[in-house]
Amino acid sequence: MEDRGGTILMKRYEVGRMLGQGNFAKVYHARNLKTGQSVAIKVLNKDMVMKFGMAEQIKREISVMRLVRHPNIVHLYEVMASKTKIYFVMEYVKGGELFDKVSLGRLKEDLARKYFQQLMDAIDLCHSRGVYHRDLKPENLLLDENGNLKVTDFGLSALTESRKSDGLLHTTCGTPAYVAPEVIRKKGYDGAKADIWSCGVILYVLLAGYLPFRDKNLIEMYRKIAKADFKCPQWFPVDAKRLLYRILDPNPITRVTIPRIMESRWFQKGYEHNALSHLPPLSPRWGGDDCSSDVEAAFAFTYSSSSSFSYSGEDDEEVVVPMKLYRFNAFDIIALSSGFDLSGLFEKDNSQKQHAMFITRMPPAVIASKLEEIGQMDNSFKVMRNNGVVRLEKRNTKGTSQLSIDTEIFQVTDSFHVVEINKVLGDSLEYTTFLEHHLKPFLDEIVLAWQGCHNHQ
């Protein structure tokens, strides 16, 4: 145990090498000291999570992973907390990403079908529990040692109760090449139908070895997605083509449902429905289906004996491991391409819209914090946050709004975000002056590229 040089966490896990890291978390390989089982432990800094308003997202991720226990979904075994850290103890899947397999070329039809069948089983379970993944792509599909698929990364997922009064979801998120047309339109979307579209793109990639919607210009790619402008290679089986055209239907109302997908001739070939497909939530030790108290306990600073979380009364030191560099992929390059302005993609008349956009590597929390600094520097501006939108509002001497600007952050990939800036209220000249002479110079250090701004090279 000790001779392996691992760090012991809460007297229960021996923590080893880092497997990866994101903006707010690091993931380590670990071993259960009692059973010897390998696990993956996701470590989050509690102060950072609270400071940057990520608590609700983390709570939702815990709740979601408890709800979706399935053989083809990465299991969440338990959540532990210390004064400074939150730990997700998860199933360790050592076969790597499906993306790595596909990057070598197209798969044989039977293997592609097997992965798609397992994906459908998993997503069907999610939807039956009111969970929508919203970021399905080969990078978020892992393979275990037996070659079985495991869905992971529910960080962008939504629950049924996230829907607004119109019964739709409205947060724009996901990865460009896999996102459904209705998500791009920003008019609201059905989470289940959006997930089905993403699954269709994945199926195409498995059979073809490349994406159905491709263009060096992101705007052109979105135009193709909006019209479902794609062609199936000649080697695609006829039944697979028929199924793909039903899944990649740009109209979510007529898009095929999962039950209909499962009834299709191509899908049914060799299909073995997993008897464990609809297991109850994660474990009796969680104390039933109501996990609200357990989720809240992860963010508490005092131990509760009724909580299902393990808690350490002392600050545990973070494991120090050499940093793993982010792996640059084709979608990052697409995101950096010219013509990134999405205006006019779906709206015929965009002449009255006054907005700008920029792309950045910074995480949403850093972007929002930077915007809030403007209010600290200029007392005439009031800064407010609401549902992912940061509003800058300048008031006159009478206390009424003189200039109001909304900034909204959208995820493109794990390490790239687009920030859209819109004038909500106020004089156009004042808005343009503020944008060009104050906002742009102030944000310059975090911006990779601007679009939609005057006098921009």
Alpha helices (H) in 86-234, listed in sequence order: 98-102, 109-128, 181-185, 191-208, 218-227
Question: What SS3 state is found at 360?
Answer: strand
First to last CA, the chain: 58
135 is catalytic: yes
Catalytic residue among 3, 47, 121, 135: 135
Annotated binding residue 51: yes
Report how far residue 30's alpha carbon sits from residue 122's, in angstroms, rounded to the nearest whole number: 26
Residue 197 CA to its chain's centroid (Å): 16
- Strands in 320-415 per DSSP E: 355-360, 381-386, 389-395, 401-413
Question: What SS3 state is found at 201?
Answer: helix
The DSSP output letter for 58 is H
Q: Which residue has the tokens 């809030």?
A: 372
Report how far residue 172's alpha carbon sits from residue 363's, in angstroms, rounded to the nearest whole number: 16
Residue 114, CB-side half-sphere exposure with 13 Å CA sphere: 12
Find, among 187, 195, 181, 216, the residue nearest to 141 by Cα. Answer: 195
**∠ CA 419-330-98, rounded to 5°:** 110
Report how far residue 162's alpha carbon sits from residue 154's, in angstroms, rounded to the nearest whole number: 14
Find, among 425, 411, 445, the residue nearest to 23 by Cα. Answer: 411
Report how far residue 201's alpha carbon sits from residue 395's, in angstroms, rounded to the nearest whole number: 47
Q: Is 426 exposed, middle or buried (0-12, 13-18, 19+ CB in 10 A)?
A: middle
Residue 67, CB-side half-sphere exposure with 13 Å CA sphere: 26
Orientation of helix 109-128 relative to helix 191-208, angle to 10°: 170
Structure-block tokens of residue 2: 């000790």
Beta bridge partners of 236: none
Annotated binding site: 51
Residues with a known catalytic role: 135
Annotated binding site for ATP: 51
